[in-house]
Amino acid sequence: MAHTSGTYTDKDILSEKIKGIRVAMLTTIDRNRNILRSRPMITQETPFDGTLWFLTQISAHLVDEAENRQVNISYASPQENRYVSVSGVAQLVRDQQKNKRVMDTEA
Determine the Cα–Cα distance for residues 27 and 106; give it in Å rounded to an integer: 23
Determine the Cα–Cα distance for residues 65 and 31; give it in Å rounded to an integer: 6
Would you say residue 27 has pLDDT above 80?
A: yes
pLDDT band at 107 (very low <50, low <70, confident <90, very high): low
Q: Give the closest residue to 27 by CA, choosing from 69, 67, 60.
A: 69
pLDDT band at 4 (very low <50, low <70, confident <90, very high): very low
Give the 3-state secondary structure of the chain: CCCCCCCCCHHHHHHHHHCCCCEEEEEEECCCCCCEEEEEEECCCCCCCCCCCCCCCCCCHHHHHHHCCEEEEEEEEHHHCEEEEEEEECCCCCCHHHHHHHHHHHC
pLDDT mean over 64-74: 79
- Looking only at the bridges linking them, the beta strands covering 23-29 and 82-89 are unpaired
Would you say residue 7 has pLDDT above 60?
A: no
pTM of the model: 0.72
pLDDT mean over 45-61: 74
CATH topology of domain 10-106: Pnp Oxidase; Chain A (2.30.110)
